[in-house]
Amino acid sequence: MKRINILNYMVQKGEEQIPYQIKASMRAMLFNPSLQLNDDGLIRNFEIWNKIKDQENDLFLEDADYNVVLQALKAIRGFNENDLEFVQRIRNAENYDFKPKMSIGTSGIKEAESSDSENK
Segment among 4-13, 41-50, 102-111 with least mean pLDDT: 102-111
Q: Where are the domains of the chain?
A: 2-98
Segment among 43-52, 80-89, 90-99, 106-115 with least mean pLDDT: 106-115
CA dihedral of 70, 74, 76, 77, whole degrees rounded to 10? 150
The 10s digit of each residue's pLDDT in 12-67 is: 999 999 999 999 999 999 999 999 999 999 999 999 999 999 999 999 999 999 99
Q: Is the pLDDT of residue 116 over 60?
A: no
Name the average pLDDT for the chain: 88
Q: What percentage of the chain has pLDDT greater than the value 70?
A: 82
**Sequence-ordered list of residues with C-beta below 8 angstroms from that of 49, at least 6 positions apart, any chain:** 26, 27, 30, 31
Distance of CA 120 to CAs 77, 79, 110, 111, 116, Å? 54, 52, 20, 18, 7
The reported pTM is: 0.78
What's residue 63's pLDDT? 96
